[in-house]
Structure 1
Amino acid sequence: MQENEFLDFIAGLTEGFTPVVDAGFSVKEYIPVDLSAENKELTPTALSTPEGLSKYLDGFLSRTGMKIAWGGYNEKRGLYRRSSLFSEAIDEDLVRDVHLGMDIWAPAGTPVLAVLDGRIHSFRDNDNFGDYGPTIILEHNFEERKFYTLYGHLSRASLQELKVGVRVNRGQQIAVLGSPLENGEYAPHLHFQIIKDPGNRIGDYPGVACRKELSHYLQNCPDPNLLLKIPFSI
């Protein structure tokens, strides 16, 4: 399938705003947030700890009168420099700092919803500093075309009763968001990512890419807002 055809196919699977966290939040309460390396308001303190970033996000939402901050696809971030998982490279072009999914910043315990009908492909607790923490990957088949969605930074309890192959329905709660103690030490949020082909990976797939490999990963992981359709303004 050609790239543009795949993008059109993905976009056609949903009509209008499709929530991936608690449907009780109105789309009018969502606002895009800039967490790029260009945002001068993101001080080293805000980037170095979950508490610092939570304080920044809470202040941003308070100023704007909104409840859910979102964004981050193809965004170059300084946030990952704190973890050797992403930054331990001699060549700057090999430093992983470009985000491949969409983040939905919401409180720990917020329900996470399946965006489409599918089945549980795999799950895993990626328990490293700066990693996803508990993660679920769903497999989707539509019109004999297969692709995947990844849900990261969940609670550990979300994985306890899961079984590979179990069917899930669109809008069904599949997990809740984890706290910094279990989600890789981030401010609570969901990392949501579309994956065209995960290869042989189980419960994990890169969510941050280096610039040298960025073209490949952006082609394999298109903009999640093709499915969610969150408007940039209401």
Structure 2
Amino acid sequence: MMKDINFLKFLRDLCAESMSVLDANIPKSKYIPISLSESNDVLNVIDVSSSDVLADFVNTHIKNHNAEVAYGGYLEVRNIYKRSTHFSSQAEEERNIHLGVDLWCSAGTSIFAPFDSVVHSFNNNENFGDYGPTIILKHHISGVDFYTLYGHLSLASIDNLEVGQRFKQADKIAELGDASINGDYPPHLHFQIIKDIQGFKGDYPGVCSKTDLTFYERNCPDPKLILNL
């Protein structure tokens, strides 16, 4: 297995020019950072358990900044997961640290492969607060294998998909779902890099506990390395 620092260097060198998972014609000037952190006092006074209320917060932020996409969330500690037993139970330590980057935009938005890819696996993860329809792509570049995960997609995105199906860089792979199918969130893409898939298929933890953070921070580096955000 490659050393962590070498994998990070590999990603940086690979992405000297930014890659896109949304429409490449959207300029980076139309991307605006957004915080869903527990330290964001605005979120602490609204009902983040409601996808409609959270959507209003996100959409207002995008509109106020004359943007098209709001992004962020890598290693962000979030209170939003408290609404679902999928992330916490009496038997387990609370999972509330986000391991991917979220790209908040409209349902139906097209998603594109950042690199040549093969479909590793896919699934509809239907737990409340989970990914909903999810695709994991495998990439083999310069002798290095790694994976990217796409969560909160539409059902149609996985209807006719096949394991082993190939996509070229910039091919459309999916569309975003809405709150009725995506785990009850405002429409967004959860995008995550995974070095070692650990035998998972159609799913991989996108939120971790504080105890497990050291491992996941190594295994799931910041997706902004690819997106150049």
Q: State if a TM-score over 0.5 links the two structures.
A: yes
Aligned match of 2:34: 33
State whether structure 2 residue 228 is matched by structure 1 residue 229: yes
CA distance in 2, matches of 1:23, 1:106: 14
> How far, CA to CA, are the matches of 1:195 and 1:13 in structure 2?
15
List per-residue Cα deviations over 1:30-89 (Å, max 9, x = no partner). Answer: 011111000000145341111111100111112211111001001000111100000223
Count, aligned residues: 228
Partner Cα distance (1:21, 1:50) in 2: 22
Measure, in 2, the Cα distance between the counterparts of 1:89 and 1:227.
37
Aligned equivalent of 1:110: 109
Deviation by residue 1:104-157 (Cα, 9 ceiling, x = unmatched): 001000001111111000000001100000000000111211110000000001
CA contact (8 A) 1:18 1:228 kept: yes
Indicate conservation of the 8 Å contact 1:46/1:55, yes or no. no
Distance change in 2, residues 1:101/1:50 (3 Å): same
Give the CA deviation at 1:171: 1.1
For 2:66, give the aligned amino acid.
G
Q: Take 1:56 and 1:115, find their aligned partners in 2: how far apart are those partners?
A: 29
1:49 counterpart = 2:54 = no
Contact 2:73 / 2:101 at 8 angstroms: preserved in 1?
Answer: yes
Q: Give the TM-score normalised by the residue count of structure 2.
A: 0.96
Partner-residue secondary structure (3-state), 1:12? helix
- Aligned twin of 1:68: 69
Is this contact kept in 1: 2:133–2:154, CA < 8 A? yes
Moved over 4 A (4+): none
* Distance in 2, Cα, partners of 1:209 & 1:79: 13
Q: Tell me, yes or no, if the aligned pair for 2:38 and 2:44 is still in contact at 8 Å.
A: no
1:138 is paired with a residue of what secondary structure? strand
2:95 match:
96
Question: 1:111 touches 1:175 (CA, 8 Å); kept in 2?
Answer: yes
- 1:11 is aligned to 12
Q: Shift of residue 24 of structure 1?
A: 3.6
One-letter amino acid of the counterpart of residue 64, structure 2: R
Q: Tell me: CA distance 1:192–1:130, structure 2 relative to 1, closer, same or farther (3 Å).
A: same
One-letter amino acid of the structure 1 residue matched with residue 29 of structure 2: K
Q: Tell me the distance in 2 between the aligned counterparts of 1:45 and 1:158.
A: 32
What amino acid is the match of 1:30? Y
For the residues of structure 1 that align with 2:47 and 2:56, how far apart are their CA atoms?
7
1:180-231 CA distance string (max 9 Å, x none): 000000010000000001111110000000001111111110000111112x
Partner of 1:183: 182
Q: Distance in 2 between matches of 1:148 and 1:127?
A: 22
Identity of aligned residues (%): 45
SS in 1 for 2:134: strand
Give distance in 1, aligned partners of 2:123 and 2:24. Answer: 25
Structure 2 SS opposite 1:125: strand
The corresponding residue for 1:140 is 139
Query: 2-side partners of 1:224 and 1:78: how far apart?
Result: 22
Residue 27 of structure 2 aligns to which amino acid in structure 1?
S
